[in-house]
Amino acid sequence: MVEFFKRKAANSKDDILSGLTVALALVPEAVAFAFVAGVDPLVGLYAAFMIGLITSIFGGRPGMISGATGALAVVMVSLVKDGNQMGLDMVEPVQNMGLNYLFATVVLAGVLQFLAGVFKFGKFVRLIPHPVMMGFVNGLAIVIFMSQLGMFKDISGAEPTWLQGIELYTMVGLVVLTMGIMYLLPKVTTKVPAALAAILTVSAIAIFSGLDVSTVGSFIRDGGGTGLKGGLPSFQTQLFTLVPFDLTTIKFILPYAAIIAAIGLIESLMTLNLLDEITETRGNGNRECMAQGAANIVTGFFGGMGGCAMIGQSLINVKSGGRGRLSGIIAALTLLAFILFASPLIEQVPIAALVGVMFMVVIGTFAWATFNVLLKIPKADAFVLILVSGLTVVFDLAIAVLVGVIVSALAFSWDNARKIRARKSNREDGTKVYEIWGPLFFGSITTFNNKFDIENDPESVEIDFIDSRVADHSGIEAISNLVAKYEAAGKTIKLKHLSDDCITLLQRADTHFNSVILRDIDDPRYYVVTDKVKIE
């Protein structure tokens, strides 16, 4: 019992410290993504707080951090812009109407995500092949790296310009120092999260030495914001008073809501899978879908920009020792405390310290084993891996994963379509026997049909499916058509070693198959993928 409480206390300490680290890393990310979406920084910070808190308590993956993300912010840019124009075109023009449409869209996206969890769509993430997963991880690492390069620019002018001279050298020096602390400290002690120690150390050096460096506060002000200081999120009553609930509004927000819901779920479920591998535990995808949906519904009603799981902050949390729900709760509550009470202190944290932390996340995120396995895996898998990585960088995660899954499925189908074989032999009574090997499905039907010589075959033919697998209804239809062709030629045909469900479906098509099928006690114990058969 004593050991149990000691272990719980140790875990709680790790969760609390890692939660504090994550809260610091959440600030610039949420602010930056709010700027990308074209909304006030507090809209991004409120989203990070509310989504982070709700998913930490109710989500399907303890230790996973959720908040405002770049993948969703990119979609919101045109939503806010078009929404502003729609507001100006109203009978009574409304300024900044795009923000209200954004809140309504986030609520609708949350409803779609919640329904995805209710109907257990989360399990379909298992269909994502490993090359797609590796491509996603590598692409995301590149995206995180590229997003941090913007921190090396001066955004105070009309156009962002790269830092030069002493400003650049100071920035690089502090970034390298942060990365050095994060690399070396774990070799000395693991009792303190390396990321938190690095941020505090670099912040102390910058503050007490009076270095003229970009900080969280200057970053917000240069981007057009007024600072981190704010109150508690408030209910957005204008969703009911200003946003017209009509068909025009639904037509406008529904496509955006569907895209936001899809991107959010894909990124969250893939992050969940990644953390499952790192922690060697198993999360609940359907529960995460419902938690993400509920979180977005709440944040939409209370003035947040919506969000999903954040792979960078999730990796910071897990690698800092945060494995329980407490870490995410602490991160969310600490972020709220920053907004309410500690904004002057947080605004003094150098951007360089947070960039250094994110660069270490990039190094830890990228699957460096890719370079070792790229020439050892099948060419199709290598192509998918590179394709998904590139599409993640050029477009977004949802498109990359969707294309990767489609290409992987086509490659798998093509490879298996070529594997069907037919060994031919003749019995003493003159019967010709076709022994079929390989899967019979929509992709292999043409090859399967080409194995038979109906015109020149003898009067009696037997087809043995003992080493074949009839995978779908297309395969059954091919068998039915083949039997019809042999009988139309006046020849006798028998089918052997079909599974019970194949027999049932053939008999439903035509009871004549009762006289064609040979039943054996060693028929295959597999099932055809149809809507009539339950597959576990």
The DSSP line for 399-450 is HHHHHHHHHHHHHHHHHHHT--EEEEEE-TTS-EEEEEEEEESTTTHHHHHT
Q: How many CA atoms lie within 13 A of 146 on its CB side?
A: 10
**CA–CA separation, 50 vs 68, rounded Å?**
10
CATH topology of domain 420-518: Transcription Regulator spoIIAA (3.30.750)
What are the CA-CA distances from residue 334 to residues 125, 216, 291, 295, 429 (Å)? Answer: 32, 16, 21, 18, 84
Instruction: Tell me the CB-side half-sphere exposure of residue 109, using CA atoms within 13 A.
Output: 33
CA distance 392 to 143: 8
The CA distance from 166 to 336, in Å, is 35
Percentage of the chain beyond pLDDT 70 is 92
Residue 134: name the closest of 266, 269, 270, 263 by CA.
Answer: 270
Q: Where in the chain is the domain with CATH 3.30.750.24?
A: 420-518
101 pLDDT more than 90: yes
Q: Output DSSP code: residue 307.
A: -
pLDDT range class, residue 10, cuts 50, 70, 90: low
Determine phi and psi for 301, rounding to 5 degrees.
Answer: -75, -20
Name residue 496's beta-bridge partners. Answer: 464, 518
Q: Look at residue 281 and give its three-state secondary structure.
A: coil
Alpha helices in 59-164 (DSSP H): 70-88, 97-118, 130-149
* d(C-alpha 279, C-alpha 431), whole Å: 59
For the stretch 461-470, pLDDT in tens is 999 888 888 8
Q: What is the pLDDT of residue 150?
A: 80
Strand partners, 289: none
Q: Tell me the mean pLDDT in the region 265-291.
A: 87
Residue 275 or 91, more confident: 275
Q: Does residue 337 carry a pLDDT above 70?
A: yes
For the stretch 33-89, pLDDT in tens is 777 677 888 888 899 999 999 999 999 999 999 998 877 877 787 888 889 888 888
CA 444 to chain centre: 32
Question: Which of 118, 114, 27 has the alpha carbon at shortest distance from 338?
Answer: 27
The conformation of residue 150, written as its DSSP 8-state character, comes to G
More confident residue, 438 or 28: 438
Model pLDDT, residue 226? 65
Among candidate residues 112, 88, 113, the one with its CA nearest the CA of residue 101: 88
The continuous run of DSSP H or E covering 153 comes out as strand 153-154
- Partner residues linked to 460 by β-bridges: 492
Residues 206-249 have pLDDT tens digits of 999 888 888 888 877 776 666 677 788 999 988 888 888 889 89
Residue 505: closest CA among 531, 482, 487: 531
pLDDT-based confidence at residue 330 (cuts at 50, 70, 90): very high
Of 21, 36, 53, 43, the C-alpha closest to 349 is 21
Residue 521, pLDDT above cutoff 60: no
How does pLDDT run across 148-194, given as a tens digit for each residue?
888 888 777 667 888 888 989 999 999 999 999 989 988 888 777 77
Q: Phi, psi (5° rounding) for residue 437?
A: -120, 140
Percent of the chain with pLDDT over 90: 24
Q: How far, in Å, CA of 118 to CA of 430, rounded? A: 59
What is the per-residue pLDDT for 134? 84
117 pLDDT band, cuts 50/70/90, is very high
Give the Cα-Cα-Cα angle 269, 274, 275 (nearest 5 degrees). Answer: 95
**What mean pLDDT, rounded, does the chain reach?**
84
Q: Looking at 313-322, 452-461, 503-512, which range is the least confident one?
A: 503-512
496 near 463, Cβ under 8 Å? yes
Q: What is the pLDDT of residue 4?
A: 40
Cα(first)–Cα(last) distance of the chain, in Å? 40
H-assigned helices in 280-346: 285-301, 311-319, 325-340, 343-346
Query: Cα 143 to chain center, whole Å?
Result: 14
pLDDT at 533: 44
Look up residue 271 and give its DSSP letter. H
> Over 90: is that where the pLDDT of 333 sits?
yes
